[in-house]
Structure 1
Amino acid sequence: MTQARVEPVQPPYAEDIQAAFTRIMPPGVEPLKLFTSMAHNPRVLQRFFAGGLLDHGSISLADRELLILRTTARCDAEYEWGVHAAFYTAKTGFSQAQLADTCRATPDIELWRPEQLALLALADSLHDRSTVDDVLWGRLREHFSDEQLIECLSLVGFYHTVSFLLNGLQVQREEYAPRFPAR
């Protein structure tokens, strides 16, 4: 295991940083190492929190998490994949087979509904080509509104940023977060 390039800040946190952690973290849960590492630059941390998409948006929790899991798996960001698997798998209803499938090169079409397969293809397309072709866009439009598609595109982009931060800083995995399954 590599060592973190930027060690997380330790409590007590500056008042504004503590307030930000209190807003974003569930009660009783310590701030994530990603956040405490980013706290070395409070301006970036605050902008990061302001740009997050973990609120109730225009797409379902399961659709949001599917995009996040696939994007972070494709970016090899095991930290973020594991945090989302730990916090949200029970809430999404994803099976262990589906969770593992988010990390496979080619999704198993038997595990997903058509709209979920379109979301997986969206994450892959943006990761591989930074765009969406007309055929895939047509598939997505069968299931999602313009408002929802803008959110989907934004989620994939935001979690590329999260992955870049995690991988670049070499943030160490949270102890409770699962690792990637065997691929």
Structure 2
Amino acid sequence: MSRIAPLEPPYPADVQAQFDRIMRGAPPLMLFRVMAGHARAWEKFRAGSLLDRGPLPLREREIVIDRTCALNKCEYEWGVHVAFFADAAELTEAQVRATVLGPADAPCWSAAEQALLAAVDALHHRATLGDAEFAALSAYYDADQILEIMVLCGFYRTVSYLANGLALSLEEKAARFPS
């Protein structure tokens, strides 16, 4: 289940309102329930302001999140995002699989998406972007989008640490890593 006990219903009114806003009527994820049981951690988590839409289109946002979670071996969060957003982001089965098992330059990706994945890989492995990686991103994304890409990578690395460190059980409706 979780190494730290999750908040159990009924939830305080303010927490229920936050869950309703984030989950749009679906039951809250285990990760959210654990975090919400600890006011300071929950506040900091939500203050990341990355649970909303940003300057990236949904497709690119999900590619960044899926790849970051896959690189961090976080099946929990990867599975949640694939289950809830892959269809809306128009990710094919081959692309979903490639977020876990494929190289950044896999032929299932457009040139812009390959630049995006190469940047995610670089940030994960080296904690920086080389000049060539930054130039490739800049060919397709503006400054606000590039900053969002970097912040998303950092935020979802943290989410991966939380889900993995808490040993969260996979959500029932979440996808599973391809073998």
* TM value normalised by structure 1: 0.93
Moved runs in structure 1, 4+ residues, more than 3 A? none
Deviation, structure 1 residue 159: 0.3
Q: Do the aligned partners of 1:86 and 1:176 also contact (CA within 8 Å) in 2?
A: yes
CA distance in 2, matches of 1:54, 1:115: 24
CA distance in 1, matches of 2:49, 2:67: 17
Pairwise mapping of residues 6-85 of structure 1 onto structure 2 (< 5 A)? Answer: 6-27=4-25, 29-85=26-82
Q: Do the aligned partners of 1:38 and 1:45 also contact (CA within 8 Å) in 2?
A: yes
CA distance in 2, matches of 1:57, 1:4: 30
Q: Which moved more, 1:89-98 or 1:6-15?
A: 6-15
Residue 181 (structure 1) aligns with: 178
Q: Which structure 2 residue ranges, 5 or more long, are not aligned?
A: none
CA RMSD of aligned residues (A): 1.3
Residue 104 (structure 1) aligns with: 101
Residues 24-62 of structure 1 deviation map (CA, whole Å, 9 limit, x = unaligned): 1112x0000000011221221122123132322211100
Q: Do the aligned partners of 1:17 and 1:42 also contact (CA within 8 Å) in 2?
A: no
2:163 equivalent to 1:163 = no
CA distance in 2, matches of 1:85, 1:129: 26
Q: Percent identity?
A: 43
- Which residue identity is paired with 1:35? F
- Which residue identity is paired with 1:25? M
* TM value normalised by structure 2: 0.95
Q: Do the aligned partners of 1:20 and 1:46 also contact (CA within 8 Å) in 2?
A: no
Pairwise mapping of residues 74-153 of structure 1 onto structure 2 (< 5 A)? Answer: 74-104=71-101, 106-107=103-104, 109-153=106-150
3-state SS of paired residue (1:81): helix
CA distance in 1, matches of 2:176, 2:105: 20
Q: Which moved more, 1:165-174 or 1:64-73?
A: 165-174
Deviation, structure 1 residue 15: 2.3
Deviation, structure 1 residue 105: 5.2
Residues 142-161 of structure 1 deviation map (CA, whole Å, 9 limit, x = unaligned): 00111110111111010001
Alignment length, in residue pairs? Answer: 179
Q: Do the aligned partners of 2:120 and 2:153 also contact (CA within 8 Å) in 1?
A: yes
